């Protein structure tokens, strides 16, 4: 079963615009992570936010976490064509051993 659900399922923007993706989850978590996947490749870790954190930045990425609403958002600022990929949120759950539960992902297309 899937824990996270990303929204929207697909997003198409122009280069230079910002992209916002949302993720909702169902149970309590230790942390939430965002990953990127280019077509036919493995996943690349982007950012990890712990359950006691509310916001985290990494370069052009900004992640927020609202544990009361069980939701997170990923903002990519000043998008580039190279940002075209699928983006997944992943959560562990309170009693897990660290294995991750992924959502279905948001497919981002950035047009030059």
Per CB under 8 A, 63 contacts other proteins: no
Question: According to CB under 8 A, which one of 33, 71, 79, 84 is a site residue for other proteins?
Answer: 33
Taking the complex as a whole, the smallest distance from the CB of residue 67 to other proteins amounts, in Å, to: 16
Question: DSSP string spanning 18-80?
Answer: -EEEEEE-SS--SEEEEEEE-TTS-EEEEEEEETT--EEEETTEEEEEETTTTEEEEEE-S--
In whole angstroms, what is the distance from residue 11 CA to residue 48 CA? 22
Per CB under 8 A, 31 contacts other proteins: yes
In whole angstroms, what is the distance from residue 13 CA to residue 5 CA? 21
Paired tokens of 109: 């297309």
Question: According to CB under 8 A, which one of 19, 21, 43, 110 is a site residue for other proteins?
Answer: 43
Q: Identify which of residues 19 and 100 has a Cβ nearer to other proteins in the complex.
A: 100
Cα 61 from chain centre: 10
Per CB under 8 A, 103 contacts other proteins: yes
Question: According to CB under 8 A, which one of 74, 101, 108, 110 is a site residue for other proteins?
Answer: 101
Binding site for other proteins (CB under 8 A): 2, 4, 30-31, 33, 35, 40-45, 48, 88, 90, 92, 97-105
């Amino acid at each position: 079963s899937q824990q996270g659900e990303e929204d929207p399922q697909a997003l198409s923007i122009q280069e230079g615009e910002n992209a916002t993706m949302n993720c909702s989850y169902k149970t309590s978590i230790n942390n939430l992570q965002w990953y990127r996947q280019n077509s036919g490749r493995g996943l690349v870790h982007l950012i990890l936010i712990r359950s006691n954190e509310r916001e985290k930045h990494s370069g052009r990425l900004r992640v927020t976490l609202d544990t009361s609403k069980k939701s997170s958002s990923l903002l990519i600022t000043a998008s580039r064509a190279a940002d075209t990929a699928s983006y997944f949120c992943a959560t562990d759950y309170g009693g897990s051993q660290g294995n991750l539960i992924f959502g279905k992902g948001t497919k981002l297309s950035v047009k030059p």
